[in-house]
A = this chain, B = another copy of it.
Amino acid sequence: MPTPISPQETRLGWIGTGVMGASMARLLREAGYTVTVYNRTRAKAEPLLAIGAEWADTPRAVAEASDVVFSIVGHPHDVREVLLDETTGVLAGSRAGMIVVDMTSSEPSLAVEAAERFAEKGAVSLDAPVSGGDVGARDGKLSIMVGGDRAAFDALEPLWRVMGAKWVYQGAAGAGQHTKVVNQTLAACTMIGICESLVYAQKAGLDLDTVLESVSSGAAGSWSLSNLGPRIVRGDFAPGFYVEHFIKDLGVALAEAERMGIELPGAALAHRLYREVEKQGGGRKGTQSLVLALAKINGVDWPEND
């Protein structure tokens, strides 16, 4: 375990500077930490380098320069590569006392494997996926769901505080990822209801804004209905969160459920419908574009005003 976390004592590493990662790393840099950064596409790291972050050529090199290494990349296979690759991965550059934090939404079983592999070297690996989207990342208002070593979770509080509005220890390695599965299953099923009921309302000839006025604030209400319902009605499919990322997350949920021998019929339905959206070319649209699959199935035209 490193000495108490502080900008003076703790060297941070950051792997993955997509929309989320770039914002999160920026906040840490602005909080005074040294940050060594790696990203598959270097250009996307340039804004961080411009505010004083150091570049490293591999995840391994990031690890060698850092006490705490964060990663937030695309898919579970990317997590496996950046963390566990025997030549270029974080593991290859790790040492006792180091803490690795994977914030990608990824597989719980991979989080368990990573924790075991790092433990063999005396290091600690936490799984810490987030919700809150690009806006939450930019504003440091994420909800961070953490699994793994409790003492490491506690030690990192100054860093959670920079990135999050809420950080909750969920249990042993993988528990953070399991909690993210819960989060995405909730969001997916809620979105099915929003989209199919708006298609119904359209077909029934209702005024959709007036319908939202009746149903948004009561027992049928949700964050998604209040925030994305009006966008669906307007045909605004700009992404808060990409369909293709949601398909990945729901795929993780279904694979994990199958591994545990259980069914998630709502998440399975959402996964099928989102793949339809992707087939229609909507992979980089926002998750509210689920309505386009349901409209098509039902022979209803839906406006698109991207």
A182 at the A/B interface (Cβ < 8 Å)? Answer: yes
Q: Are A215 and B131 in contact (CB under 8 A)?
A: yes
Q: Are A225 and B262 in contact (CB under 8 A)?
A: no
Q: Are B190 and A220 in contact (CB under 8 A)?
A: yes
A91 at the A/B interface (Cβ < 8 Å)? Answer: no
Binds B, one of A16-24, A77-85, A151-159, A165-173: A165-173
Binds B, one of A54-62, A68-76, A265-273: A265-273
What residues of chain B lie closer than 8 Å to A241, measured between beta carbons? 219
A87 at the A/B interface (Cβ < 8 Å)? Answer: no
Q: Are A193 and B188 in contact (CB under 8 A)?
A: yes
Q: Once the chains are docked, how many angstroms separate the CA of A169 from the CA of B241?
A: 34
Q: A218-251 vs B: 1/0 string, CB under 8 Å?
A: 1111111101000000000000010000000000
Q: Once the chains are docked, how many angstroms separate the CA of A243 from the CA of B183?
A: 25
List 17 A-B residue pairs with CB atoms under 8 Å apart, sorted by A's residue number.
Answer: A131-B220, A171-B206, A171-B207, A178-B201, A178-B205, A183-B215, A188-B193, A189-B190, A189-B266, A190-B190, A190-B220, A200-B257, A200-B264, A219-B223, A262-B298, A265-B294, A269-B269
A199 at the A/B interface (Cβ < 8 Å)? Answer: yes
Q: Which of A169-206 contact B (CB under 8 A)?
A: 169-171, 174-175, 178-179, 181-190, 192-194, 196-201, 203-206
Q: Once the chains are docked, how many angstroms separate the CA of A298 from the CA of B170?
A: 23
Number of interface residues of A (CB under 8 A): 74
Copies in the complex: 2
Across the interface, A222 reaches (CB within 8 A) one of B108, B169, B188, B221, namely B221
Q: Are B214 and A218 in contact (CB under 8 A)?
A: no
Which residues does A use to contact B, with CB under 8 Å? 108, 131-133, 136, 143, 145, 166, 168-171, 174-175, 178-179, 181-190, 192-194, 196-201, 203-207, 210-211, 213-215, 217-225, 227, 241, 253, 256-257, 260-267, 269, 273, 294, 297-300
Q: Are B265 and A218 in contact (CB under 8 A)?
A: no
Q: Are A179 and B223 in contact (CB under 8 A)?
A: no
What residues of chain B lie closer than 8 Å to A136, measured between beta carbons? 218
Q: Are B219 and A145 in contact (CB under 8 A)?
A: no
Q: With A190-B190, A200-B185 known to touch, is A215 a contact of B262 (CB < 8 Å)? A: no
Q: Are A214 and B170 in contact (CB under 8 A)?
A: yes
Q: With A182-B211, A207-B170, A218-B132 known to touch, is A190 a contact of B193 (CB < 8 Å)? A: yes
What residues of chain B lie closer than 8 Å to A264, measured between beta carbons? 196-197, 200
